[in-house]
Amino acid sequence: MRKFDLIVIGGGTGLDIANAMSQHGLKVAIIEKDRMGGTCLNRGCIPTKLLIHSADVAETIKYAEMFGIKVNGFSVDFEKIMSRANGITDSDSDEIKNELQQSENPKLFTKECYFSGEKEITFVSRDDGRGDEDDFEIISAEKILIATGTRPNIPKIKGLKDSKYITSDEALRLKKQPRVLTFVGGGYIACELAHFFGSLGTEIHIVQRNNVLIPNEDQDISSKFTEVFAKKYNVHLGYDVESIAENNNGSSDESRLHILAKNSSGNSIELESDQVLISAGRIPNTSSLHLEKTGVKVNEKGFILVDEYLETTKKGIFALGDVVGRYQFKHNANLEAQYVYSNILNNDRKIKVDYNAMPHAIFSSPQVAGVGYTEQELRKKGIEYLKSIYPYIQTGMGEAIEDKDGFVKFLVNKKDRKILGCHIMGTAASTLIHEVLVTMRTGKGTIDSISKTIHIHPALSEVVSRAASSI
C-alpha cells in the first residue's frame, strides 16, 4: 500500500488543490480516469462558449440588415466549428496530462477507483471492474478530497435506451450538424445548445414539462425569455416525453427518432427528429465510489453532505464543486477550492465558506445573468422588498444595438436598501452583472452604491444605473 498526505479524486478544480498542496510540501496523489481539466474544460463551460461564439457571429450576420448592412447569405462549416473548439480544449487537457505524467508530486493515477476502506482507495485496471489480484493497487492518506463532479441525468423514458439519444457530452463532439434536433428538458443546458445549433440552421424543438423555460430564474426573466425563445424555435411547454422510437425506414443512414409527448390534459404531440438531446439535469458522480466504506454520507440525490467548512461526515475527507450540489458553477468550485486548501492545512482554524453574492449566467441568446434572491423566493420567505425593471431599449446604447427585449431587474430590501437580488436578460448580461456583484460582496451592498456612481453615457452599463435609480 502506498501512502500519501493527500489524495485528490477528480482532475478538474481538484487539480488546483493537488498542485497547491504539493507546492506546500505535502505528498499528493491525484486520480482522474477521464480527460484532465474536468467538466468545465472538456464538456462544459469552455467548449460550449467556444461553440456559442460561432452562433453569436451567425446571429449577428442574420440581423445585419437591421443596421443597414446587407449580407447575401452565408454558409456554415460545421466540421470546422467543432474542430476549432475541440482542438483548443483537447490541446489544453493533453498539456495538463503530459505535465502531470512527468511529475512525481503530485502523482497522477489514471485508473478508475473506489473506496475499499475508510481512507483507502483501490484502483482496478480491468474494464470489468473485477480483475485478478495483480490488477489491484491500493493507496491511502489521512486527508482526502472528493471533487468528482456530475454527469447528465438520464430519465426513464420508454424506448430511450434503444434509441440513439445524445447528451451535452456527445453534442459537443458531433461530426455532422443535425437537420432537426429535439431537446428533452428546457433548462440552461438546453437553451445554450439550442442557441448554438439553431443559429447555425438546425430546426429546434424543446419539449419542456414546465410552463416556462429556465424555470429556476426570476419569474420575469423566465417568462420573457420563454416568449423570446418561442419566436425563434419550436417550444412545447407542459409536455412530458412518453416514448422515443427509432424509425430507420430500412436504412440506418436515414434513421430518425419518433418522439411522443403528452401534457396533463391528455393532449399529445408527435415529433420526428434526427437526434434527441437529453437535458434533464445532472447527477453526482458518487455511485461508483463505494462511499459506504468511508462513513461519507450523501443525500437522497447522491450529492455528498458537507458542513460549512466543506468537510464530509468523515473527519479528514472533504468535498467540493458540483458533487456537493450547492452551486454547480465552475466559479463556485474555484471559490470552494480556496477554503478547502485553507481548511485542510489548518484543521484547527477552519473557515466557513462565504457564498454571498454567488452569481450565474446563461450564455444563450438572449443572455441571462442573476445573483441573489428571485422575486418568488422573496414572496415565499415573506421578506418586504422594492423592485424596479428598466428596459435596455430606453437607453442610448440599448437603442443603438436594437435590444428591444432586454431589461435589468433589481430587488431591494425595503428597510435598509440592501440589494437582495439582481436579474438581467439581454446583450452582455453576463458582463453587466459584475457591477452588482462587487457592490453586494465587497461594498456596502446598497442600491445607492450603484445609483450614485457616475456611469459613462451612452455605455450599455447605463441600463444598470437607471434600474438602480428607479427605486
Using a pLDDT cut of 90, give the percent of the chain over it: 93
Q: Are residues 198 and 294 in the same domain?
A: no
The grid coordinates listed for 420 are: 437582495
- Domain shared by 276 and 298, yes or no: no
Q: What is the pLDDT of residue 247?
A: 81
**Are 84 and 97 contained in the same domain?**
yes
Do 56 and 143 sit in the same domain of this protein?
Answer: yes
**Region for residue 121 given its phi and psi (left: phi exceeds 0; alpha: psi -120 to 50; beta: otherwise):** beta
Residue 65 covered by a domain: yes
Query: Given pLDDT bands bounded at 50, 70 and 90, which one contains residue 135?
Result: low
Show which of 280, 308, 341 is a domain's final residue.
280
Give CB contacts under 8 A, 24+ apart, made by 91-97.
Answer: 92/37, 92/41, 92/46, 93/35, 93/36, 93/37, 93/41, 93/42, 94/36, 96/11, 96/15, 96/36, 96/37, 97/35, 97/36
Domain containing 458 — which CATH number? 3.30.390.30
Q: What is the pLDDT of residue 131?
A: 41
Average pLDDT of the chain is: 95
Q: Do residue 227 and residue 270 come from a single domain?
A: yes
pLDDT at residue number 124: 78
CA-only gyration radius of the chain, Å = 24
Q: Which long-range contacts (CB under 8 A, 24 or more apart) does 375-384 make?
A: 375/218, 375/219, 375/220, 375/409, 375/411, 375/421, 376/218, 376/219, 377/421, 378/411, 378/420, 378/421, 383/413, 383/420, 384/413, 384/414, 384/415
| Domain-embedded: residue 79 | yes
CATH code (residue 89): 3.50.50.60
Q: Determine which of 74-88, 226-240, 243-257, 422-436 has the lowest per-residue pLDDT on average.
A: 243-257
Give domain status of residue 161, yes or no.
no
Band (pLDDT 50/70/90 cuts) for residue 254 is low
Q: How many domains does the chain have?
A: 3
Indicate whether 419 and 334 sit together in one domain. no
- Asked whether residue 238 is assigned to any structural domain, the reply reads yes
Checking if the pLDDT of 32 tops 80, the result is yes
| 422 phi-psi bin (left φ>0, alpha ψ -120 to 50, beta other) | beta
Last residue of a domain, one of 245, 260, 280: 280
DSSP 184-204: E--SHHHHHHHHHHHHTT-EE
Does residue 157 lie within any of the structural domains?
no
Is the model's pLDDT at 133 over the cut of 50?
Answer: no
184, 299: one domain: no
Is a pLDDT exceeding 70 seen at residue 134? no
In degrees rounded to 5, what are phi and psi of residue 413? Answer: -60, 130
Is 395 among the domain residues? yes
What is the DSSP pairing of strand 120-124 with strand 282-284? unpaired
Least confident of 62-71, 127-136, 185-194, 216-225: 127-136
Instruction: Tell me the residue range of the domain where 114 lies.
Output: 2-151+283-349
Instruction: For 260-318, give the DSSP string.
Output: EEEETTS-EEEEEESEEEE-S-EEETTTTS-GGGTT--B-TTSPBPB-TTSBBSSTTEE
What is the mean predicted confidence (pLDDT) over 128-145?
72
For residue 385, pLDDT beyond 70: yes
| CA–CA distance, 372 with 357 (Å, rounded to integer) | 6
Alpha-carbon gap, residue 263 to 242, rounded angstroms: 10
* The pLDDT of residue 413 is above 90: yes
Both 45 and 133 in one domain: the answer is yes
The predicted pLDDT at position 128 comes to 47
pLDDT tens profile 176-229: 999 999 999 999 999 999 999 999 999 999 999 999 999 999 999 999 999 999
pLDDT for 129: 45
Mark whether 9 and 147 lie in a shared domain.
yes
Look up the pTM and report it. 0.94
Check whether residue 273 and residue 399 sit in a common domain: no
Residues 182, 253: one domain? yes
Residue 361 in domain: no
User: Dihedral, CA atoms, 291, 154, 281, 226, nearest 10 degrees?
Assistant: -170
pLDDT at 130 over 70: no
Q: Are residues 175 and 305 in the same domain?
A: no
Query: Is residue 360 one of the residues assigned to a domain?
Result: no
Cell of 220: 420575469
Tell me the C-alpha distance between 446 and 414, whole Å: 11
Q: Give the end of a domain, one of 258, 280, 302.
A: 280
